[in-house]
Amino acid sequence: MFTTLHETSGISWLILIPTTTFALRTVFTLPLSIWQRKRIVKQQELRKVVQAMTPVIKLRLAAAKATEIEGQAAAAKGTSSLTKEGSPDLIQKETLKQLTPEQIVVVAAKETRKRQKTVFKQHHVQMWKNMLLPVVQIPLWCTVSMGIRKLTEWKIDGSSKEWFDSFRFHEIDLTGPLEVYPMIVPITLGVVSLLNIEYNGKMMLRRTTDVVGIDTYRDDNSRLTQGIKSVLNVSRIGSVFMMGVSSQASILLSLYWISSNLYSLLQNILLDFLWPYQK
């Protein structure tokens, strides 16, 4: 594809690679990114509604426990009433047993997750749909990276001198690493990549109250916050690793990585402006 575009248009590789990268991302990943952002925003709105039910569920369980402690007669009467009404749900089943405070918390969490799945399904924003974007984006990134790598290593018998000269910019060989200033490309890739990671981290940890300047308590030990921070740390390590790889990779391949990260950063800024992500 790259060779056909280059031979047809005559555009320099230094311009063709970023242009093609932006075009591919716009066609294949941008629609999915917009769809996913809208879905995540909807999930956040519905999650707030579901989480508001958790205290009510705990109160119901605690009240059921207090009722049972009053006597076996009240418990038997409650059991008879439940049997007449039909099959009890998760909360009703647990009220038939003596529940400790820890068990109340666990049962309430299970019921909240169950209701969240039901609500998400009703609004067609199931969690598994969040995997569609990575399923498309990761293979696309790997395919283009391998294609550029093979392109720069391609040696064709009988190729003209102009073909090999097209991979040179002045005295710089684009099929190899930048030897004149070897750290420019890795540092550029690292800066753009880390900017994208930190922006995503700030966006994902942002709360609705932050927009209006109200400081609220932040539970840094919650499962969601810890999960986000773990993903960010892995991404930071991956960014440093890619810096090392780019120091030995061809200029064209590193240019693709830089262009892809830059597109992601600009895309996230635009989507965050149109559909803000708020916890």
Identity of the highest mean pLDDT range in 71-75, 83-87, 220-224, 252-256: 252-256
Percent of the chain with pLDDT over 70: 69
Assess whether 220 and 232 both reside in one domain.
yes
Q: 162-192: per-residue pLDDT in tens?
A: 655 566 666 666 766 776 777 889 999 999 9
Q: 262-276: per-residue pLDDT in tens?
A: 999 999 999 999 988
48: in domain: no
Assess whether 232 and 252 both reside in one domain.
yes
49: in domain: no
Assess whether 136 and 230 both reside in one domain.
yes
Q: 37-68: per-residue pLDDT in tens?
A: 999 999 988 988 888 877 777 777 777 666 66
| Cα separation, 216 vs 253, whole angstroms | 45
44: in domain: no
Assess whether 117 and 134 both reside in one domain.
no
Higher pLDDT residue, 203 or 216?
Answer: 203
What is the structure's pLDDT at 222? 67
Assess whether 115 and 239 both reside in one domain.
no
Assess whether 109 and 188 both reside in one domain.
no
47: in domain: no
What is the structure's pLDDT at 65? 63
Parent domain of 102: 54-122
Number of structural domains in the chain: 2
In this predicted structure, the answer to whether residue 210 has a pLDDT above a threshold of 60 is no
| Cα separation, 229 vs 247, whole angstroms | 28
Assess whether 64 and 164 both reside in one domain.
no
Assess whether 68 and 95 both reside in one domain.
yes
Assess whether 173 and 91 both reside in one domain.
no
Q: Last residue of some domain: 90, 122, 154?
A: 122
259: in domain: yes
189: in domain: yes
Assess whether 145 and 110 both reside in one domain.
no
Nearest to 133 by CA among 45, 61, 25, 206: 25
User: Which residue type is seen at 51?
Assistant: Q
Assess whether 149 and 223 both reside in one domain.
yes
Task: Report the predicted TM-score, pTM, of the whole model to 2 decimal places.
Answer: 0.77
Assess whether 132 and 265 both reside in one domain.
yes
What is the structure's pLDDT at 267? 96
Longest dimension (CA), the chain: 97
Percent of the chain with pLDDT over 90: 35
Q: 103-119: per-residue pLDDT in tens?
A: 777 778 888 888 889 99
What is the structure's pLDDT at 85? 47
